[in-house]
Structures are given as structure tokens and as C-alpha cells.
Amino acid sequence: MGLIFIRGILIAGLVLGVGGAGACAQAPKTPQELVDAMLSHELAPHTDRYEYVMNERSDRTGGHLWTEHVVETSVGRVMRLVAEDGKPLPPDREAQERARLEQIAAHPDEFAREQQARKDDEAHARQLLAELPKGFILENVTLTNGVWRMDFRPNPDYSPSGFEERVLHSMTGWLAIDAKDLRLIHIEGRLPVDFNVGFGLVASIKAGSNFMNDRALIDGHWRTVHVTTDVRGKAILFKTVARKSDLTRSGFVYRDSNITVPEAVALLEHAGNTSTIAAEMPVRK
């Protein structure tokens, strides 16, 4: 239960970073209209595919800083680990990565099935995001240098239904929206007090748990460039619930929307093994 929420928070940050830029035909009149207009862009289907470098330190990486070369496809992200803690992989781990990629290229259908679970989570995160405006009061709205900024806090008149929605409804934070494109630039939320279910015996998320993501306009498309998540707590039977991650993306290169999994693998194999890959990959103009 708590783990689903944690995945939702992280993935929500990841799926928000897609889609093209577009001017607003009519300026929103209220904070609610502003957020609704932003969500209409953020939740729209997209077919953009990118190649980029991701640096991540998280539970997944065992606390190490992983540098991964990523190529997006219609069925999921194909990733190749190229460095750990700023150092190229030793020969044995490099061989393991090559073997894993060869397996993916040889069995793309199997890779697609494995990625479907992530797509399901992304759909859940999008639904969760769409429900957020109903549960919060938007206030302290300002417009500075082409950026709308506003705070949000729980709406006491709103009754969330599921566990994830109840946790989100307990958060306070702020967000920033590009005034021209009506696209999300930044959002962060934090639990000001512990969130407990069943007096903390069923689930408990600790005060201070938070998430944040930053986005940027790259090559005419909005992309997530920085995501952090720090969630602490416990779930049923006192199982520890924790998620801590910090990842950045850079070196975006726009790719054909129809790129296949074997083609993505070929791109990753051609790049080679280097810890300076992020600096070497150009941004397409």
C-alpha cells in the first residue's frame, strides 16, 4: 500500500517531463483554471522519444551514483550502466551489461512485457495527478518574469478515497508554471506531520517525507531534468517503507518516435563505455 504511493510519487515526477510547447489561446482567469490548463497539457498523450544520460543515486543503485545511457522506445526505456561513482565499469560488469542488452535485443517482446508493469504505474500516476486540484487550496499566486508561482495546502472540504490520495492530500508545497506554454516547471510537496492509518499500525509515513521535480524546455519540448524523492515510514506488519532517490537527466537527443528496442540497443552499444558520456552527448538544436 505504502509502496504503491512511493512508486506513484516518483513516477509522477518522471512522466510529467514529456510533450511539446504551445502557446495558450486565452489566459486563465483563476488559479484553478491555470492548473487545469497546465494539466490539460501534462496529461495529454505523447510520442516523443529521447536519448539522454541519467545520473541517479537511490535505493535501486545501492546508494552509489550510477551513470546510465538511456534510449526511450514506445514500450519502455532501454538503459545501459556506463559508470559507477564517476568511474567506468570494470570488465566483468561491462560484460554483464553487454550480455543483458543482447538479451533485450534478442527478445524485445519479453522486454515489452516487463515494461508493461511500469506503464501501468505511469497510468496510475497520471490519474493521481489529475485528481490533485480537487484536494488542494491554491493560494499566494504570483506572476514574475513569465512564471506563475502558487502554494498549495490540503482542502479540508475534500474527502480523499484511496491511500495514495490521502497521503497526497496531507502534503503542502508549491509549484511553478510557465506562463506562455502553461507547462509545469517545478513542483514540490512535503508532509508537515506524520500520516498514520490505524494509529500507525497499518501504515505510517513520517513527517518531512517529500518529493520534488524540475523541468526545462529542451529542443522545443518540456523534459524533467531533476527528480528527488525522500519517503520514510512503515506499512502493515511494521515493514519499513522507504524511498530515497536523486536523479538528473542531461544530454537530450531527439529520436525517431518509431525507434524499436533492437535499434535502441544498437545505439547504446555504439556509444561505448565512458564516464564522460554526459559531456560528450550534444543537445539537438
Asked if residues 61 and 68 have their Cβ atoms less than 8 Å apart, the reply is: no
Of 66, 77, 141, 143, nearest to 112 by C-alpha is 77
Q: pLDDT tens digits for the chain (285 residues)? A: 444 444 454 445 544 545 555 544 456 668 888 999 999 888 887 788 999 999 999 988 999 999 999 999 999 999 999 999 999 999 999 999 999 999 999 999 999 998 887 766 556 566 666 777 888 899 999 999 999 999 999 999 988 877 777 777 888 999 999 999 999 999 998 999 988 776 555 578 889 888 888 999 988 889 989 999 888 876 655 555 667 889 999 999 999 999 999 999 999 998 754 434 444 443 333
Distances (CA, A) of 134 to 129, 159, 187, 195: 10, 9, 17, 20
**Amino acid at residue number 241:** V
Q: What is the CA radius of gyration of the chain?
A: 20
Asked if residues 283 and 253 have their Cβ atoms less than 8 Å apart, the reply is: yes
**pLDDT confidence of residue 183:** 94
**Amino acid at residue number 161:** S
**pLDDT confidence of residue 28:** 65
Please, is 149 exposed, middle or buried when counting C-beta atoms within 10 Å of its C-beta (0-12, 13-18, 19+)? middle
> pTM of this prediction?
0.80
Please, is 45 exposed, middle or buried when counting C-beta atoms within 10 Å of its C-beta (0-12, 13-18, 19+)? exposed
The domain segmentation of the chain, as residue ranges, is 2-22+48-134+195-280
Asked if residues 264 and 112 have their Cβ atoms less than 8 Å apart, the reply is: no
DSSP letter, residue 237: G
Asked if residues 244 and 231 have their Cβ atoms less than 8 Å apart, the reply is: yes
**pLDDT confidence of residue 202:** 59
CA dist 274 and 265 (Å) reads 16
Cα angle 248, 18, 82; round to 5: 35
Q: Helices 91-106 and 261-271: crossing angle, nearest 10°?
A: 160
